[in-house]
Chain A
Amino acid sequence: MRQIILLLKGYRGAQLRRLGAPEVKFQELDSFYGWVDTQLTGVKTGTLAVGHMAEVMTSADFQYALGEFLQRRMEPAYKRKRFNFEPIVKMDTAPNYSAVTRYQDRAGVDDLEYVGEKGEASPGSRDDAIKKQWQVYKWQKQYEFSMEALVNDDLAYFSDQARLMAEAARRTLEKYVSRFMWNATTTGRLTALLAMYSTTGRLTTARISAARMAFNQRVDARGEPILASLKYIVHHSGLVDTVATIQNSTLVPELATNAVNVVRGTFTPIEDPFCAGTAPNLPWFALTDYAADNIVPFILGRRAGMPGAVIARKTPNMEIVGTMLGAGTPAPPLWGDFETGNIVLKVMDEWGTFISGTDGNMYDVNGCYYSSGTAP
C-alpha cells in the first residue's frame, strides 16, 4: 500500500511540474502524501506538517451551496383519547331521514282478583304502549385547498388530512353521545325525579351502592317491580383512579372499618373525556345494561346503508386532453377544478337520537342515574 501511495505522490508531482505549479503546491504534496503514509505506518512523527490536514474552507464559506440547507420535518401529532360509548347506547337503523317510531310495552296487565261462587270475573285492562320517535341528521364538514398548497406540502402536513377528517367524525359522534348524559334537560329531569334517579354526591362505594339499590327498586308503568341492574358507570376523566380504587379494594376504601366492598367488580367503568367538571366536583352517571334488561337508556340511530363516516372529493371538472411535451407524455396527476384549481374534500356521516323537551335524550329514564358530584 505504501508503494502505491509513493507512486501516486510521484505521479501527482509530475503533473504539477508539467503544469508549472508553484513551490507551495509541492509542499502541500509532501504534507498530504506524507500524512497518508504516516496513517498507514501507524508511526506518529509529531510534526505538524504531516500530522494534520488543515481545513481551509468551512460550510460558512458556501452561503448558497450549503448555507441555505434547512432540515424541516414534522413531529408526531398528539394521540387522541376516545370515548368508548358503544355499550351504553343501543344502535338502531332508520330507512331514510324521516322520523321512525318505536313502541315499547312498559306494563303488564291487572292482578287477578277474588271471584266468589257464581261470581263474574272483573274485566282487566292493558296499558297503551310508550311511543318514541327519532330521526337521523346529516353531519358534515368540507375543506378546500388550493392545488399549490398541496403540491408545496413537502412536509406531508396534509397527508393525514383524510385520517384527521375521519377522526373528527368519530369525535363529533362521541361528543354527541356524551351530551346525552350531561345536557341540562337530561340532568334536570333526573334531578327532578329525586333520590331514586339522582344524587349530588361524589363517586364513592356508598354512592354506587345507592345507585345500585335505586335500580334494584325500579318499577314499570303500573308500579310493578322490574329487573334493572347497574352495569356501567360513566365518569369524568378525573375519576379514573377513584374508580380503580373502588374496583380493586376488597374493603370499603372510604371507611376505617373492615366493611366489605360489595360493589367491587359489579360494574364496568367507562371514561368520558368530554364530560365537563372541576375537581373535586366531578359528575358521574350510572346505567343499566340494555341488552340484559331491555331498558334502553339511550339510542343512537343511523341510516341504513350509512354505517359510518365517508370521505369524498369533489370531482375536478377538468380533464387533461394533451400536453405540449409530446405524445405519450403523462400529465401531472394533481389538478383541482377548472376555474380556480381548488381541491375540495368532504367528510360525511349521519346519525340521530331520541330528543325530548322533557326527558332530554333519555330513551328510558329507568335506565339512568345521575350525580353532579358536587356534595362531599
Chain B
Amino acid sequence: MPDIYYAGTDWQCSSGPIITRRYALTDLWPTGLASEIGGGNKDVLAAGDHPVVAIGTKADRPNNLTGVVVTYLNAFLIEVNMASKVVVKDYVSNILTYAQGVAATWAATFTIAKPVYVDDSADLPAGCRLSLSPLNSAGSGNPLAGYLHYDQDEYRNIDIGGPNATSDWPVTADNSEAVETALCIMLVNDSGQAWATIAR
C-alpha cells in the first residue's frame, strides 16, 4: 500500500526520449488533496517526485494527455516529460475492473505490454495512480498512460553470461485482491488516441 509516490532514484528506465513541457499543478491529476473520486487524497506532489499523471480537464477523459513529472519547482512551474516511448517506473495496481463503485476483478499477474491507465479511483492508495482498468470506479474512461515494460535488469540474459536464468516477467500479483507493484511503464503520451481506437 504505497502512500507516497515512488521515491527511488531509479525511476528512469530508459535514457530517453525527453520532451519536456511546463504545466501547473491544477492541470495535473490525480495528485494532492481531494483528487480521488469521493474526495480522497493522493500524495502531494513535491520536488523529487516523478509520478505519471494525466493532464487537462477531467471532462475530456479519456482523451487526456499523459506524462511523467520530471521536476517540480512549485505549484505553477512543473516540467513534465511528454515524450512517447520513454520508460519510467511507478506503482501500478492490478485492478482490472470496477463494479458498484469498488474494485471487482484483479489480474493474477502483470504481463508485458499490458495497458496501464491513469485511474483516480479511491481504491488505489495515495501513492498509486495507475491501474489496469480502462474505466474508473465511477465508470468514466481512464486516460491511457502506456504499457508495462521490462526494467533494464529483468530480461533473461543467461545466454550471454548474465545473471538471470529466467525473465522476471510475468510479475506475480493476486487475482483476489489489489496489489500495487513498482513496475516500468512505456509511456505513449498519445492523447489517449490508442485507447480511443481500441475502445471504438
A residues with a Cβ closer than 8 A to B are: 137, 142, 144, 146, 175-176, 179-180, 183-184, 339-340, 342, 344, 352-353, 355, 361
State the CA gap A339–B163 with chains docked (Å). 37
B100 CB-CB contact with A under 8 Å:
no
B160–A184 touching, CB < 8 Å: no
Which 7 pairs, one residue from A and one from B, show the smallest C-beta to C-beta distance? A137-B160, A142-B15, A176-B161, A353-B161, A355-B161, A340-B18, A179-B163
B15–A340 touching, CB < 8 Å: no
Task: Render B9-30 as a binary contact track against A, CB cut-off 8 A, 1 for contact.
Answer: 0001001001010000000000
B12–A144 touching, CB < 8 Å: yes
B160–A342 touching, CB < 8 Å: no
B15–A144 touching, CB < 8 Å: yes
Q: Chain A contacts of B159 at CB under 8 A?
A: 355
State the CA gap A174–B161 with chains docked (Å). 12
Task: Render B59-97 as a binary contact track against A, CB cut-off 8 A, 1 for contact.
Answer: 000000000000100000000000000000000000000
B99 CB-CB contact with A under 8 Å:
no
A144-B12, A144-B15 given; A352·B165 CB < 8 A: no
Q: Chain A contacts of B18 at CB under 8 A?
A: 339-340, 342
Distance from A298 Cβ to chain B, minimum over Cβ atoms (Å): 11
Q: Chain A contacts of B163 at CB under 8 A?
A: 175, 179
Distance from A157 Cβ to chain B, minimum over Cβ atoms (Å): 12
B160–A340 touching, CB < 8 Å: no
B residues with a Cβ closer than 8 A to A are: 12, 15, 18, 20, 71, 158-161, 163, 165
State the CA gap A183–B18 with chains docked (Å). 39
Q: Chain B contacts of A339 at CB under 8 A?
A: 18
Distance from B42 Cβ to chain A, minimum over Cβ atoms (Å): 26
Chain B minimum-CB-distance residue to A300: B161
State the CA gap A176–B165 with chains docked (Å). 13
Chain A minimum-CB-distance residue to B71: A146
A142-B15, A144-B15, A184-B165 given; A352·B20 CB < 8 A: no
B15–A179 touching, CB < 8 Å: no
19 contacts between A and B (CB under 8 A): A137-B160, A137-B161, A142-B15, A175-B163, A176-B161, A179-B163, A180-B161, A183-B158, A183-B165, A184-B165, A340-B18, A340-B20, A344-B15, A352-B160, A352-B161, A353-B161, A355-B159, A355-B160, A361-B161
Main DSSP-derived SS at the A contact region: mixed
Chain A minimum-CB-distance residue to B16: A144
Distance from A253 Cβ to chain B, minimum over Cβ atoms (Å): 35
Q: Chain B contacts of A180 at CB under 8 A?
A: 161
A144-B12, A144-B15 given; A179·B161 CB < 8 A: yes
State the CA gap A137–B160 with chains docked (Å). 8
Q: Chain A contacts of B15 at CB under 8 A?
A: 142, 144, 344
Chain A minimum-CB-distance residue to B12: A144
Distance from B164 Cβ to chain A, minimum over Cβ atoms (Å): 11
State the CA gap A144–B12 with chains docked (Å). 10
Q: Chain A contacts of B20 at CB under 8 A?
A: 340
Distance from A359 Cβ to chain B, minimum over Cβ atoms (Å): 13
Distance from B70 Cβ to chain A, minimum over Cβ atoms (Å): 9
Distance from B50 Cβ to chain A, minimum over Cβ atoms (Å): 13
State the CA gap A339–B20 with chains docked (Å). 9
Distance from A317 Cβ to chain B, minimum over Cβ atoms (Å): 14
Q: Chain B contacts of A144 at CB under 8 A?
A: 12, 15
Q: Chain A contacts of B165 at CB under 8 A?
A: 183-184
Q: Chain A contacts of B160 at CB under 8 A?
A: 137, 352, 355
State the CA gap A175–B162 with chains docked (Å). 9
